[in-house]
Amino acid sequence: MSPSTPTMARSARIYRGTPRNLALLARRLRAGGIVAVPTETVYGLAGDATRAAACRRIFAAKGRPLYDPLIVHIASLRDLARVALPNPAALKLARRFWPGPLTMVLPKTGAVPDVATAGLTSVAVRMPAHPLFRRLIRLAGVPLAAPSANPFGYVSPTTADHVRKSLGSAVRHILDGGPSRIGLESTIVDLRDPRRPTLLRPGAITRAEIARALGTPVRSSRKSRAGGRGLLAPGQMPRHYSPRTQVVLHARLTGRAAARGEADEAWLFVSRPSGAGGGQGNIFWLDARGDLRGAARRLFAALRELDDGRFRRIHVERPRGAGLAEALNDRLLRASAR
């Protein structure tokens, strides 16, 4: 098989990132189609952010409610003014963290249709770091709306195969950029009022890093919004990132306790547990040494694997500490919400 030949899976095609394939997928996007794309955070489902019909296709493919706004992705800083009205604080963060896993909520321009922003006068915007995705944005010549490429509320995808398995025939074209390097969705900060920056969703860029860059404290947002009212950005629903199998969180787990547990229940640790013994088929860990970057990269893939394992429950140890632990705990709290 040549490098530019797509592999077939159901009616979806997985494309390697060759110049020929990128040009083809850019044409699809310019024509109003949707394409699953790799990013450094998770895989996204992209469409022309300036076309209402393309944005509606994204909502329909995911089964996503129209009250949950999309994130708009750009390829360069000069494109920011096309979709948003930046302020000095936003430009400071953009120069510090872009391209990268930071999304900013800003007043929007008329180029972004209301359907993309759930009727709000603001827009969530980011410049991704994944080279294939940025190249695709440039070739398409338009900013791309791209929420996670999975059914709404389910565990986010971090590989092209995750997209294929969870969306099936709802998406026809998947660009394979390898496993996501970070594995958690972007940090989102509300900068509509630059004097009062507010963290809406924690991620790999931490609250402390944003505060240092701005020289001002970063507030926490209000609690999750049940029913979707007042959502400024994605990832604020009480239940989200959720496997079908019930997730139970624990402040602390031990290997011995897990080894004594029921065989039809899975036990997921941050690091390799001591005292678990050997041979248990229901004890798992995210990173052997407990490195939180490795744990973040592995979390969603692990939840998907355990969800397919026919376990009755998934017991998960909560990470401890600040920084990236805040983002991991945010995802786990929403995944475990009933």
Q: What does the pLDDT profile of the chain (338 residues) look like in tens digits?
A: 333 434 434 578 999 999 999 999 999 999 999 999 999 999 999 999 999 999 999 999 999 999 999 999 999 999 999 999 999 999 999 999 999 999 999 999 999 999 999 999 999 999 999 999 999 999 999 999 999 999 999 999 999 999 999 998 899 999 999 999 999 999 999 999 999 999 999 999 999 999 999 999 999 986 555 555 568 999 889 999 999 999 999 999 887 778 777 889 999 999 998 765 545 689 999 999 999 999 999 999 999 999 999 999 999 999 999 899 999 999 999 999 98
- For the chain, the distance separating the N- and C-terminal CA atoms, rounded to the nearest angstrom, is 46
Q: What is the pLDDT, as a whole number, of residue 6?
A: 41
Domains of the chain, earliest start first = 7-228 (3.90.870.10), 246-336 (no CATH)
Q: pTM to 2 decimals?
A: 0.93
Q: What is the pLDDT, as a whole number, of residue 44?
A: 98
Q: What is the pLDDT, as a whole number, of residue 3?
A: 39
Angle at 213 between CA 211 and CA 218, to 5 degrees: 20
Q: How far apart are CA 273 and CA 294, in angstroms?
A: 16
Helices (H), 168-291: 207-214, 255-259
Q: How far apart are CA 338 and CA 323, in angstroms?
A: 26
Q: What is the pLDDT, as a whole number, of residue 260?
A: 76
Tokens representing 296 are 């973040």
Question: How many residues belong to the chain?
Answer: 338
Q: Are 244 and 226 in contact (CB under 8 A)?
A: no
Of 40, 99, 22, 106, which is closest to residue 71 (Cα–Cα)?
A: 106
For residue 273, cis peptide bond before it (omega within 30 degrees of 0):
no
Q: How far apart are CA 206 and CA 260, in angstroms?
A: 37
Cβ-Cβ contacts under 8 Å for 81 (sequence gap 6 or more): 109
Report helix, strand and coil shares of the chain as percent, to nearest 5: 35, 20, 50
